[in-house]
Structures are given as C-alpha cells and as structure tokens.
Amino acid sequence: MARRKKHGSHENHERWLVSYADFITLLFAFFVVMFASSQADRGKAQQVAESIKRALDDDQFAAALRGILGGTVGERGPGNSMMRGPGGVKTGKEAPREPGPYAELVPSLRMLQQQLKAEIEAGMLQVNMEPRGLVVSLRQAAFFPSGTDSIDPSTYPVIEKLAGLIARLPNKVRLEGHTDAVPIRTERFRSNWELSSARGVAMLDLLSTRYGIPQSRMSVGGYGETIPLDSNDTEAGRARNRRVDIVILNEYGARGEPSVPPEASTAPKTGAAPSRVPSTP
C-alpha cells in the first residue's frame, strides 16, 4: 500500500494586513479625538474673545486700567498714555479732546526729572511715582528755615516750575507737611502737628496767590512726625523726614478726597482769606 505524500502547510503572507488595519484604525481614532478637541477649544476661544470684546466696547476694562495707572477715565482710543504729553494735551496730529478729570502722570514725572535734574542731584527735592500719584518731596533744609512756615524766596524758581506743571494738569493736588520726631513748642507752634500743617498752608498760599493755582483744586494735610521716610535716630534721617510733599493725585489717590455737592459749587463766594505770601521774592 502506497503511503500518501504529506504536503507542507501553506504560509500566509497577508497577516500584516491585520496589524496595518489596526494601526490605521487607531490613527483615525487619534485624529478624530484631536479634531474634536480643537473644535471645543475653538468654541472656548470664541467665547473668551466675545467677552473681551464686550468689556472693551463698554469701556470697563479701559476704565479700570486707567484708574490704576492714573489715566483719563472714560476716553476711548489706542495709546492713551503714549499720545498724551504733560497736562493731558495731545502730542500727535489728532485733534485734542476735552481733558478728563485725571491726566496720565508718567510723562509729567519724566519732564520734572529732566527740568529739576540739578535740584534733585543737589538733594533739594525728590520726585517719584507712587500708587496715589506723582509725589514731589521738598526738603525743609532747602525750602523752609528751621522751625518756621515761611518759604525761602530763593526757592521760588523751583516752585514756579512745579506750578507750571500743576496749571496744565486737571488733577487735584494735596500738600502734605511732615516733621521729624523732635518735639517743638514755641510761641507760634505748640507741636509738630501745627508746624507741619502750617507749612502745607504756606505752600497753598504761594501756589494760589503767586502762580494762580485755584484753591479749590488743592487740599492740605499735616502729618507731624507720623510718616517718616527714615530713622529719627540720626541727623541725616531727621533731615529726610522734615519735608513738604506736593502730591499730584491720580484717580486712585483722589478717591479719599471729599466731593463737592453741585449746589455748593454754584453758591456765591463770601471772600478769600488774606495771604501771608510776599508779592516779590
């Protein structure tokens, strides 16, 4: 009996198609997930863009930002801080707009640093920007004789430059007197509180009577020795603490100032108090 010839098993050369099909399926699923994710992100991005657009159209974002930086509130237009020079006047070709209640103060800071460079280097005064506005610190050693509220006439040219800037700005101004911690008790001043307040009033008188700054734009504060810049344990520190700060307020700084009722602003004036400032240097 003849033995049957055993045939070898046939090798399948198309098994790779199964793995390839699985790979294509997974790749397709990956791209479907990526596409779906991109559509969801696009929808979220569209919602964010619409929210920002509504905020800008309502001027809410711009008003908040200008309030922090001291810019003009409620005025639209690109480049508000860059388009304005000292006093809030347009420096470009665009027609000037009506000034807002508060001008942006960074250009004014730079202008004062240039115009008063010699006085700053000599230590007569210091100019810096604070959250409440532009602060010009006048040192007592340069502007006030010791223990008095009389302003040294030789400093009038410096004060005139400050008055020129204040006149071009719509911002309110606060005049703050400060002393060191050494007690004072004279016939005229019973305490550092009275001395610091009197120096603020003397600066107000000079700015209003000699340089025409309206008194309604200014306020006076006396802080005595309560807000020192340096230690009162050394003479150099006490000298820094004896000062009058001229603060040009931005919107944030002016929030603490009382507002004038409309009926009070139209009431007839009863007269002005006499000034103690001499008419000539």
- Compute the distance between CA of residue 188 and CA of residue 197 in angstroms, rounded to an integer: 12
Q: Decide which of 148 and 16 is more confident.
A: 148
pLDDT for 41: 58
Q: How far apart are the first and last CA of the chain?
A: 145
CA distances to 7, 18, 24, 25, 244 from 13, in Å: 18, 11, 19, 21, 96
pLDDT, mean of residues 102-127:
88
Domain positions in the chain are: 106-255
Yes or no: domain 106-255 corresponds to CATH 3.30.1330.60: yes
| DSSP label of 125 | E
Would the pLDDT of 72 be above 60?
no
Q: Are 179 and 224 in contact (CB under 8 A)?
A: yes
Q: pLDDT band at 92, cuts 50/70/90?
A: very low
- Compute the distance between CA of residue 279 and CA of residue 156 in angstroms, rounded to an integer: 11
Min mean pLDDT across 25-39, 218-232, 233-247, 252-266 is at: 252-266
The overall pTM is greater than 0.75: no
H helix or E strand, kind and range, residue 178 = strand 173-178
